[in-house]
Each structure stands twice: as C-alpha cells, then as structure tokens.
Amino acid sequence: MAYDSDLADRVRELIATERGVEEKKMFGGLAFLINGNMSVAVSSKGGLLVRVAPDETESFLARAHVEPMIMAGRETRGWLRVHADGVKTTRQLSPWVTRGVDYAKSLPPK
C-alpha cells in the first residue's frame, strides 16, 4: 500500500514555513526531516508516524487513535502511530505535526 498523498500534501502545507525541511521516501512512506532529523512520516500503513520525546510516549498513548509504533516486532519509544481517523481534519493533524517538528528541531542537526 502506498502512502496517502493527500495527507502528505496537508503535512507539507503545515510545515511550509519551517527551515531545513527535507522529504525522504522511507519504509514505503514519506518522512519529513528537519535538519536531518525525522519529525513525522506519512505511513504506508495509513495515518501518521510522529516523533516525540521518549519520556512522553506513554502520556500520548492514552489518546484516541494513538498507539506505539512497532518496528521489527518491537515498540519504538519516542515514536507514535496516529491512525488516519486521528488526523482527518487540520485541527487534528496540526498538533501532531507541531509536536514532531518541535522535537526534531530540539535535536542536534545531522
């Protein structure tokens, strides 16, 4: 399954004013990097992958449409999967993109 190009366009619109943005096809989806650090990715499985501070992962898992990101059968702390139903509207999508971008900007450039 290919990633949702409409969702990718919506993410692009939200990060259009950010500096150091790069798009990269990864894992069948489309990742948005800030200064070389992944911030969010439009998943080939639908929805959005969001990078957050690892110590904040648990607090976000209580929210609707959110689950841990699983990679190679293991939970990846610091990454969340937000299902498509959780990013249908700009009001839903924008805070997730902002979280991912803000966290990526807090990391040293690569």
DSSP string of 69-87, one letter each residue:
EEETTEEEEEEEEE-GGGS
Regions in the chain scoring below 50 on pLDDT: none
Give exposure, 36-49, as e/b (b: 16+ Cβ within 10 Å): ebbbbbbbeebbbb
Indicate the pTM of the whole model.
Answer: 0.94
- Domain 5-106, CATH number (from 3.30.930.10, 3.90.1150.30, 3.30.70.2740, 3.30.590.10): 3.90.1150.30
Give the pLDDT of residue 40.
98
Give the pLDDT of residue 105.
97
Domain boundaries, the chain: 5-106
Give me the long-range contacts of 62-70 (CB less than 8 A, separation at least 24).
none
